[in-house]
Amino acid sequence: MMEINFLRLVNHSAFIIKDKGKTIYIDPFKVEGSEKADIIFITHPHFDHMNMEDIRKIAGKDTTIVLPKDSIDKIDFGKKIAVEPNKAYTVDGIKFRTIPAYNVVESRLKNHPKENRWVGYIIEVDGKTIYHAGDTDFIEEMKGLNADVALIPIGGTYVMSVEEAIPAANSLNAKVVIPMHYKALLGKEGSKKAEEKFLKEVKNARILIEIQEQKYSFQ
């Protein structure tokens, strides 16, 4: 199976990517330590994805913050790049494109409305592509999407449940699929069951261990 030592799960939906001497964060949340980011990618402005305390902690004077257009004015420091769905960009030599992220399940529509134009990212690093889905349900834009590594939420409540995420994951053309956004929602036992189900039913599934497991809950 493909090695993914360029990618680490911090916790929740927060990841660190290392590429060409650059440190890239996606949706930093509850970040410990002081490793500065070259680029910070934000999928949407909810507190567990766009946390100002964490962004300030890892942002240096040369950090570029990439975030949806409706969130650009929420940050009053650093270099900011506003993005919208279905566009391609290059920032500090890193190529990426944006994918829509939104809810389609009736009970969740108010959480991540399509009209907000929030995003997931497909980022090119280490000669590979990483798809971070953001907070989303199983949407049409996912089907057949090409990526070496796909990171998709499975926690339910605000995003896909594991049962909904399994067909979404299997619809992707990805070499490795990694679940995220569930431990704080499902608890220890619920998370274990979800991981077991995901590993059993998703081709090329893999579980990453959080490097900064936090004692928090959204329940």
The phi-psi region of residue 145 (left if phi > 0; otherwise alpha if psi is between -120 and 50; otherwise beta) is: beta
For residue 219, the model assigns a pLDDT of: 54
Q: What's residue 19's pLDDT? A: 85
Contacts (Cβ under 8 Å, ≥6 apart) of 194: 154, 155, 162, 179, 182, 186
What superfamily in CATH does domain 7-201 come from?
Ribonuclease Z/Hydroxyacylglutathione hydrolase-like (3.60.15.10)
Q: Which of 158, 146, 67 is nearest to 108 (CA)?
A: 158
Q: What is the pLDDT of residue 3?
A: 75
The rounded radius of gyration (Å) of the Cα atoms in the chain is 16
The answer to whether 111 and 49 have CB atoms below 8 angstroms apart is no
Other C-beta atoms closer than 10 Å to the C-beta of 87 total: 11
Say what the pLDDT of residue 32 is.
86
Whether the CB-CB separation of 1 and 199 falls below 8 Å is answered with no
pLDDT at 174: 97
Domain ranges of the chain: 7-201
pLDDT value of residue 94? 95
pLDDT at residue 212 in the model:
79
pLDDT of residue 208: 94
Q: Which residues of the chain have pLDDT under 70?
A: 1, 34, 214-219
CA distance 199 to 130: 19
The 10s digit of each residue's pLDDT in 39-65 is 999 999 999 999 999 999 999 999 999
The helix-helix angle for 183-201 and 162-171 (nearest 10°) equals 50
Q: How far is CA 5 from CA 47, 96, 119, 133, 137, in A?
A: 28, 19, 25, 20, 28
**pLDDT score for 218:** 65
Helix (H) or strand (E) holding 185: helix 183-201
If we measure between CA atoms, which residue out of 187, 119, 116, 178 comes closest to residue 147?
178
Q: Encoding tokens for residue 2?
A: 């493909």
